[in-house]
Structure 1
Amino acid sequence: MQVFDSGKIYDFMGKKLGSFVISCLLIFGSIFFLATKGLNYGIDFAGGTLVQVRYDGPAPIEKIRAALDLPNLSVTEFGSANEVVIRYSSASEQVAADPGRYIAKMLENTGNLEVRRVDVVGPKVGAELREKGIMAISVSLVLILIYIAFRFEWRFALAAIICEFHDVIIVLGAISALGLDVNLDTLAAVLTIIGYSLNDTIIVFDRIREGVQAGKSNDLNHNINESISATLSRTFMTSLTTLLTVLTLFFFGGDIIHGFSTIMIVGIVIGTLSSIFIAAPMLIWFKFDIAKYKEALAQKQRAKAEKERMRAMYEKGSV
């Protein structure tokens, strides 16, 4: 489906300075929020207790909050209006010994209820999960760097990694600014965004490489504009359909996945724009030389042809 004119070449590189300024503002704003507000670690990473409670009728969330005198308390619907998830970071030894029993006792005046699940995460386990989460993101970025360096060229790899860091920092800044809890769902969203942004970037880079190899012009700005314009309809439709799905989760998925869907919305928008306005212009800033790249490809082709010729001569002589 062609949303944009397939024959028209849009001047994206003519706007690279403006996009760079906006990107810097978003980065500095994200760093500001991360430095001042920090990240609000949820139970998964900070440790704490989760209790799932089901009522016979709609759960009186305000009454529940008023009845529970617990630190860092969070009460949200879970799946339906009858069920809630109660989260808190710590409590007295008496409550900690049997959370389900004492939560039920504190809520006995809020209605007929049933404690369906109790999960307790200790501070040590939370810290370990946090370290493994950071390790997962770091390893994924390193593997991306290696993959793109082998598939394309080191300038492409460096541009892609900077683009990934750009997206992650802005997403983390949004998480901090919005006060979202950082938990395993958040980690899953960030890793998904890394993969989504990388997919967009690789599609753009692949088209640029094809354009460089097939085109007669050595003007990198023209090649990039032509390549992005050729993939623009696909990029737009992919991002739009994904965004519509995530918006459905945001509006109708309930509080339990509100944070995940919010992060995904930010990540999809930022990841799509960064692959066009951040990753591609970096090839210009890194002084990618089309003529030298074509010469290197020609040398590889000559070496490959020579190798095939020598093998054919060897096989012919051995018959």
Structure 2
Amino acid sequence: MLITMKNATKWRHCTSVISIVVLLVSLFTIATKGLNWGLDFTGGIVTEVQLDSSVTSQQLDTVLDKALMQDVSVITAGEPGRWVLRYAIPEHGEAPQVDEVLQSLSSDIQVLNTSIVGPQVGQELAEQGGLALLIAVLCILGYLSYRFEWRLASGSVFALAHDVIFVLGFFAATQMEFNLTVLAAVLAILGYSLNDSIIIADRIREILISSPDKPIEQVNNEAIAATISRTLVTSGTTLMTVGALWWLGGGALAGFAIALFIGILTGTWSSISVGTALPELFGLKSKHYMPVLVTDEP
């Protein structure tokens, strides 16, 4: 048992070092490459068209990218031959008419509707999204400061930051489009990762109170052992659902599903490693959860 505990402590410390390295690499990638902001934030044109059902998305991509000289997002609208096209507003001149561009693919083309998202609207969406993220983080910090002692809460806070920054770093490295659905996934990751961290932190607190003589390393290992089955089952079933969404949801939900998939993996990892290693570093002890005697003396 003692050997197992020592091995678990080594494993947690090694994975924490890996997490810090990944965190620094993600921050460097975000700073150097930046995010590929979607049309939700930069503004652009959204056109819905009806074509021959035999036309594929790959054919549309090839023709539109060449004619509009940019990467056009082609999303199926759920009906055969119905597509949603998203592309940026040209900086110079006017974009060619979509129905004219697609004449080579289909003789029967209907432009159902076209809408333009201006740069000002995109900027407002970016500000609102950033504000939503800030409010969520502040609410989480307020809850953790109320629920746990700061040494124990610090692990959960760092784990949250680790998960979000890693997802942002992945999108910066791959230059996948960062749109409102991805932002929604980031907010969901905050809640999911927090849930894992709180389960483990709550168990650590219980063991500290019931067994005050145990060293913090052993307490953390026992807390992880007591919650690992619950963590793996919850994460595994959620990953199956997100994986199905990724596989069957199409291009419209690809970014959302990928962000959630990565966030769940890193959230499970960081809750076990970073979430327990940081309280050890800050010297968490059982006395921090023991009641303080109050005397009547002035």
- Give the alignment's TM-score, normalised by structure 2: 0.88
**Aligned counterparts of 2:280 and 2:54: Cα–Cα separation in 1:** 59
Could you report, residue by residue, the CA deviation over 1:116-145 in whole angstroms, capped at 9, with x for unpaired residues?
343321111111111221121122111111
Residue 168 (str. 1) matches residue 164 (str. 2): yes
Residues 29, 172 of structure 2: 8 Å contact kept: yes
Q: How far off its partner does 1:30 sit?
A: 1.0
The percent of aligned pairs where both chains have the same amino acid is 36
Unaligned runs of 5+ in 1: 1-7, 307-319
Q: How far off its partner does 1:93 sit?
A: 5.9
Residue 235 (str. 1) matches residue 241 (str. 2): no
Corresponding position of 1:128: 124
How is 1:198-213 mapped onto 2 (pairs within 5 angstroms)? Answer: 198-213=194-209
SS in 2 for 1:170: helix
**Aligned counterparts of 1:208 and 1:118: Cα–Cα separation in 2:** 56
**Aligned counterparts of 2:267 and 2:184: Cα–Cα separation in 1:** 16
SS in 1 for 2:47: strand
SS in 1 for 2:226: helix
**Aligned counterparts of 1:77 and 1:41: Cα–Cα separation in 2:** 17
**Aligned counterparts of 2:132 and 2:69: Cα–Cα separation in 1:** 30
SS in 2 for 1:56: coil
**Aligned counterparts of 1:89 and 1:168: Cα–Cα separation in 2:** 27
Residues 34, 176 of structure 1: 8 Å contact kept: yes
How has the CA–CA distance of structure 1 residues 191 and 241 changed in structure 2, closer, same or farther, with 3 Å as cutoff?
A: same
Residues 35, 172 of structure 2: 8 Å contact kept: yes
The equivalent position to 1:49 in structure 2, one of 40, 45, 52, is 45
Corresponding position of 1:108: 103
Corresponding position of 2:71: 73
Please tell me the root mean square deviation across aligned C-alpha atoms, in Å: 2.3
How has the CA–CA distance of structure 1 residues 81 and 298 changed in structure 2, closer, same or farther, with 3 Å as cutoff?
A: farther
**Aligned counterparts of 2:54 and 2:48: Cα–Cα separation in 1:** 14
Corresponding position of 2:30: 34
Could you report, residue by residue, the CA deviation over 1:134-184 in whole angstroms, capped at 9, with x for unpaired residues?
121122111111111111112233322221111111110011122211110
Q: How far off its partner does 1:65 sit?
A: 3.6
The equivalent position to 1:14 in structure 2, one of 10, 14, 34, is 10
Residues 200, 271 of structure 2: 8 Å contact kept: yes
Residue 250 (str. 1) matches residue 246 (str. 2): yes
How has the CA–CA distance of structure 1 residues 131 and 20 changed in structure 2, closer, same or farther, with 3 Å as cutoff?
A: same
Residues 70, 90 of structure 1: 8 Å contact kept: no
**Aligned counterparts of 2:203 and 2:180: Cα–Cα separation in 1:** 35
How has the CA–CA distance of structure 1 residues 13 and 73 changed in structure 2, closer, same or farther, with 3 Å as cutoff?
A: same
Unaligned runs of 5+ in 2: none
The equivalent position to 2:185 in structure 1, one of 170, 183, 189, is 189
Structure possessing the higher radius of gyration over alpha carbons: 1
SS in 2 for 1:12: helix
